[in-house]
Copies of this chain bind each other. A is one copy, B any other.
């Protein structure tokens, strides 16, 4: 763990906010160049090789504004290499490069359990979520959820006295739904609000997958309370499983449509949750946070893909995600050179590097 200087943290933010730089590209660039500064210096050249000139980096004014807005809110910018960055989130492959946190940031150092579920939840489901959060909180778990209506709000309510973290899709000041303004205020006061987005940003649909990934990423276990089939909570549960987290689901009657999703999770292997004991038992299990298996290559080795390789890699891409290892095998070239070519293509906006070692043409 390193502690960044203000200038270094600003570099991290600048690289994270650069066009076409998602968490995977950020991670690859940092692996290759060692610091955000050196990656920023290399960016124009890399993008040009990938086929793009005039890559848009955030201006000094934009960075000043984001840092100023955050400071005005009393929020703190934390980079994934820093000690204050939540450990479980740092174990993601790749972690979000930076997060904003508002409120009691020290809560992020404790173990989290996510409680998520239907926005249109039954009164019984909400009561259950509140009780579960309260019991788990008393056992020392920080309750993580997404500030949504229904189960999320009930989970935060139950977790408030002992500690709760709300993860937002928009900025840390983007209160949605508006009727949760009071709840939001109490969470800022005695809990913590976290977001990968810049302050002032209003959440749009594509922010929610990233928010869901942080909800599960902050947690050692995710409990789904009431969920219809094909609902967002099930996506969070899938992400959690991919991240090596425990997934639990609360069963319900087959006659209740709000139990279809949770029953289906149990059918697929999620642990059955009837109360805090089940969650605590799951956490006792042998499963630890997975060591991230990154596409590592020693930075400084500066693999330089040639045009032929770059063209070959580009030709292998399709809108259906394929694994980066598969592309390495198909080319027969050295992995570092292929990964470098993929980073260049991603900076040029010709492909997207996805978590889990996948890549798709854009």
Q: In the bound complex, how far is the Cα of B118 from the Cα of A87, in angstroms?
A: 47
A254: Cβ under 8 A from any B Cβ = yes
Q: Which one of B252, B260, B267 contacts A253 once the chains associate, using CB atoms below 8 Å?
A: B252
Please, how many angstroms separate the alpha-carbon atoms of A38 and B267 in the complex? 53
Contact of A251 among B124, B127, B128, B263 (CB under 8 A): B263
| Residue A46 lies at the interface, judged by CB distance under 8 Å to chain B | no
Could you tell me which residues of chain A, from 292 to 310, have a CB within 8 Å of some CB in chain B? none
Proximity string of chain A (117-136) to chain B, C-beta cutoff 8 Å, 1 when within and 0 when not: 00000001001100000000
- A168 in the interface, Cβ–Cβ < 8 Å? no
A253 nearest CB across to chain B (Å): 5
**B274 touching A124, Cβ below 8 Å:** no
Asked whether A266 is an interface residue with its Cβ less than 8 Å from the other chain, the reply is: yes
A244 interfacial by beta-carbon distance below 8 Å? no
CB 8 Å contact bits of A238-266 with B (1 = contact, 0 = none): 00000000000011111110011001001
Bound CA span A260–B251, Å: 10
- Contact pick for A267, options B254, B260, B272, CB 8 Å: B272
A246 to chain B, nearest CB (A): 14
Residue of B nearest to A265 (CB): B272
> Residue A232 at the B interface, CB < 8 A?
no
CB within 8 A of A266: which of B256, B259, B260, B272? Answer: B272
Residue of B nearest to A253 (CB): B252
Assembled-state Cα–Cα distance A255/B250 (Å): 10
- Least CB distance from A281 to B in Å reads 10
Nearest chain B CB to A231's CB is how many angstroms away?
Answer: 16
Which of B128, B254, B271, B273 is the one whose CB lies under 8 Å from A128? Answer: B254
Nearest 10 A/B pairs, CB to CB? A251-B251, A254-B274, A267-B272, A252-B253, A251-B263, A124-B255, A266-B272, A263-B274, A263-B272, A250-B254
